[in-house]
Amino acid sequence: MTISRRQLLQRIGAAAAVGAATPFTAGARVAAAPRRPARIRLSRNENPYAPSPDALAAIRRGEPSAISLYPDVEYESLRLKLAAAHRVSAERVVLGAGSSDVLRMIVDACLAPGKQLVTAAPTCDVIGRSAARARARVVRVPLARDWSHDLRAMRARCEAGAGLVYVCNPNNPTGSLTRRRDIEAFVKALPRGVRVVIDEAYHHYVGRGTDYASFLDHPVDDERIIVVRTFSKAYGLAGIRVGYAVADRAIAERIADGVEAGVASVAALAAAAALDDQAHLAAVVRRVTDDRQEFYNQANARMLPVIDSHANFVMLNTLRRAADIVGHFERNGVALPSPFAPLDQYIRVSLGTPEDMDEFWRVWDLMSLAHTV
């Protein structure tokens, strides 16, 4: 649906009638706002729609043995299913308690004190924090003007002894793509000892096009590439924590040595059922695609720029100090993440249900009542 400026003014008037929210103040300090549980959470890039009914059924019918025994059988069953889906041997698949756990395991396997991680800025910093804890050197390279990874600059920062390069594609928090052919050329130009982690957490939300292709669905013959996926986003299983990596067999064995929490039995059963229900996955992706377009429509009506997103969130240019915006939404019951340096006028908005997004824009329009736009 496209919203006109006239309709927008009518909505702002409706927001005024509600009058229950605290008006926005341009100089408000986020820290001074009273902290209350948010009614709506648009901060974690979660799937607002239910997981596959088959996954929920697998959780409900879990056998008692799946609770009282260690999850060896369920772990291996899911690993075999993923290996078949990606046409690789099971020895190349490593499971973890979410992709965050998998990234930590990769750092433990591939980085030692003094080694180097090269990553973008801003990007998902889970691997950066893990590398810092491992006393590795973290080199952050600003994104290019088109919001893609600046691969030329990242290559220039890669030393012969560097351990890892991290490429989140689509990137979090910008939702932007880096072209597949550029990544392939980048990998070929790297020193032989450098491994490349390609985080495809938001892979399922990318539409068809010539600029993107998964390194699992369309692999290349290079043992240095490690691809990471998760069941927390499009599959809607963030609460039970399942992620995985596909890597060369030798490096996969090293990564697997770092397994600590592992994957719970019930989580493995649910993930296996979700993987089989591709029709549900496709339906979720269609809904999120529609939600993303509606977000663009609403932003355009308010003349607010956005970064073109290929994920289930959008980076919105607020045209003012983003920290103030985050505080305003927090006071009105909507949780947003803290701003991402250096993008201090942008907020990342996870796409919620249509009702959640109606409330997001209602709270946004309250700022107009305070004459701040």
Question: Mind listing the pLDDT tens digit for each residue in 231-271?
Answer: 999 999 999 999 999 999 999 999 998 666 579 999 999 99
| Predicted pLDDT at 66 | 67
* Residue written as token pair 């067999």: 249
Domain residue limits, the chain: 5-50+280-369, 53-277
Q: What is the pLDDT of residue 262?
A: 77
| Cα gap 279→330, rounded to integer Å | 36
The pLDDT, as a whole number, for residue 17 is 42
Strands 243-246, 225-230: pairing is antiparallel
Residue 38 pLDDT class (50, 70, 90 cuts): low
pLDDT attached to residue 235: 98
pLDDT more than 70, % of the chain: 86
Where does the chain show beta strands of DSSP type E?
Answer: 40-41, 93-96, 116-121, 137-142, 164-168, 195-199, 225-230, 243-246, 306-307, 313-317, 334-335, 346-350
Distance CA 303, CA 263 (A): 45
Instruction: Round to whole Å and give the CA distance between 234 and 51.
Output: 9
pLDDT at 25 over 70: no
User: CATH assignment of 53-277?
Assistant: 3.40.640.10
Query: Cα–Cα distances in Å, from 238 out to 70, 83, 140, 150, 224?
Result: 21, 21, 27, 30, 28
pTM value is 0.89
Amino acid at 299: A
CA angle at 250 for the pair 245 and 253, rounded to the nearest 5°: 60
Q: What mean pLDDT is predicted for residues 345-352?
A: 98
Classified by CATH at the fold level, domain 5-50+280-369 comes out as: Aspartate Aminotransferase, domain 1 (3.90.1150)
* Lowest model confidence (mean pLDDT) among 13-17, 97-101, 221-225, 291-295: 13-17
3-class secondary structure per residue, 277-329: CHHHHHHHHHHHHHHHHHHHHHHHHCCCCEECCCCCEEEEECCCCHHHHHHHH
* Residue 249: predicted pLDDT: 96
What confidence score (pLDDT) does residue 28 get? 34
According to the model, what pLDDT value does residue 260 have?
61
On the question of pLDDT at 188 being above 90, the answer is yes
pLDDT at 89 over 70: yes
208-217, 269-278, 332-341: least confidently modelled range? 208-217
What is the residue-averaged pLDDT of the chain?
89
Q: Is the pLDDT of residue 161 over 80?
A: no
Q: Which residues pair with 229 in a beta bridge?
A: 244
Summarised one tens digit per residue, pLDDT across range 194-231 is: 999 999 999 999 988 879 999 999 999 999 999 999 99
Distance CA 311, CA 147 (A): 14
Provide the pLDDT for residue 156: 94
Average pLDDT over residues 43-69: 87
165: pLDDT strictly greater than 90: yes
Q: Answer yes or no: is pLDDT of 151 > 60.
A: yes
Helices 99-110, 249-256: axis angle to 10 degrees equals 110
pLDDT of amino acid 255: 95
Distance of alpha carbon 127 from alpha carbon 139, whole angstroms: 12
Q: How confident is the model at residue 12 (pLDDT cuts 50, 70, 90)?
A: very low
Give the span between the Cα atoms of 231 and 54, in whole angstroms. Answer: 14
Q: What is the pLDDT of residues 95-145, one digit of tens each?
A: 999 999 999 999 999 999 999 999 999 999 999 999 999 999 999 999 999
What is the pLDDT, as a whole number, of residue 26?
40
Q: Prior bond to 337 cis, omega within 30?
A: no
Does residue 346 have a pLDDT over 50?
yes
Predicted pLDDT of residue 102: 96
